[in-house]
Amino acid sequence: MPQRSSNLGGQPPGAADSSLPLPVRELVVEVQGGVAGTPGLDSVAEEIPVALVYNGVSYAVMMASPTNLEDFALGFSMTEGILNGADQLFDLEVVASELGLSVEMHIAGECLARLKARRRNFAGRTGCGLCGVESLEQAIPAVARVTPAPVPGDGAVQRGLAHLREHQQLQEQTGATHAAAWCDSRGHIVCAREDVGRHNALDKLIGAQLQSFGDDAFRDGFVLVSSRASYEMVQKCASVGIACLVALSAPTALAIRLARQAGMTLIAFARPGRHVIYHRSEPQTEEANHD
């Protein structure tokens, strides 16, 4: 019998509903490095198929960490263009079965009509953003324009970097997850989410922020991600009006082009003591320069 969990109201980062699979498994392993192998225990990140179902219509199956699924469902729905606002998601229920998890949502009728018109079924691997795309024209959709915002100063970027690890509980245990965090204009981390997939972590963060702050979710701050800055990450940020994306790793050339089209600030190779600005939405303010 499937097990159902409301998951409404959100969960703290890394939290798992008692009826859902655990996000971390303890496994017996063999540790090599000496004359003979020795037994040991290892913490391994779980990866579960999560089906996203809208008014009974299955839209996508993503491989994800089984945490913060309400945030994930809302964030994915927004960045995929299924919903135009959080208020168009009326209800949500997580159903667990032997095969995986289903997030069953009830959405507004006009959203369902739009979904059916562009419906695609795909298995979304953690590193894949094009599964189910049928033509080159569909591969890179138009990117949304964002409202320009001040570029974060070095102090703000460094402050976010310095505290990101504190919000990466699953990564600390397993070494296998990505994080996405929303930082305010001074670099203080307001919210963070983790997942085995970098896109999923960003969707979870977007969903959590929208539930908590609505239209003010992405005002005066920036997104900090533990991954590279791929074009999908830029698209997702632009789709909800995020004006600045900061990545620990490298950007792709396409991500830089899309950031320019969106009018978004793109910062990458953010490391202790330095970062690289690949595009800025507008000149730095005096306040940001002296942060």
Averaged over successive runs of 10 residues, the pLDDT of the chain (291 residues) comes to: 47 56 93 78 96 95 96 96 95 95 97 80 50 58 90 97 98 97 98 98 98 94 97 96 98 96 97 97 53 51
Q: Are residues 21 and 48 in contact, defined by beta-carbon separation less than 8 angstroms? A: yes
The amino acid present at 198, given as its one-letter code, is R
Q: Could you tell me the pTM of the whole model?
A: 0.87
Residue 259 counted as an annotated binding residue: no
Give the pLDDT of residue 134. Answer: 54
* Catalytic residue (choose from 128, 183, 191, 237): 128
128 is catalytic: yes
Residue 118 counted as an annotated binding residue: no
Give the pLDDT of residue 38. Answer: 80
Give the pLDDT of residue 43. Answer: 95
**CATH topology (fold) of 154-289:** Cytidine Deaminase; domain 2 (3.40.140)
- Asked whether the CA dihedral 114, 115, 119, 120 is positive or negative, the reply is positive
Q: Which of 163, 136, 153, 154 is nearest to 226 (CA)?
A: 163
Question: Cα(174)–Cα(167) distance, rounded to whole angstroms?
Answer: 14
In the chain, domain spans: 3-23+46-139, 154-289
* 145: its two tokens: 């324009």
* 151: its two tokens: 């570029």
Name the one residue in this structure whose structure tokens are 């969106």.
Answer: 262
Give the pLDDT of residue 138. Answer: 60
The amino acid present at 119, given as its one-letter code, is R
* 255: its two tokens: 């991500």
Give the pLDDT of residue 40. Answer: 86
Residue 219 counted as an annotated binding residue: no
From residue 21, alpha-carbon distances to 17, 46, 52, 91, 207 in Å are 8, 8, 17, 22, 21
Residue 141 counted as an annotated binding residue: no
Residue 81 counted as an annotated binding residue: no
- Residue 275: CB partners within 8 Å, gap ≥ 6? 154, 157, 246, 267, 268, 269
Name the one residue in this structure whose structure tokens are 């079965």.
Answer: 97
**Longest Cα–Cα distance in the chain:** 66
Name the one residue in this structure whose structure tokens are 């667990």.
Answer: 96
From residue 285, alpha-carbon distances to 18, 126, 149, 153, 231 in Å are 47, 37, 10, 9, 27
Question: Cα(268)–Cα(275) distance, rounded to whole angstroms?
Answer: 6
Residue 229 DSSP class:
B
Give the pLDDT of residue 288. Answer: 46
Residue 122 counted as an annotated binding residue: no
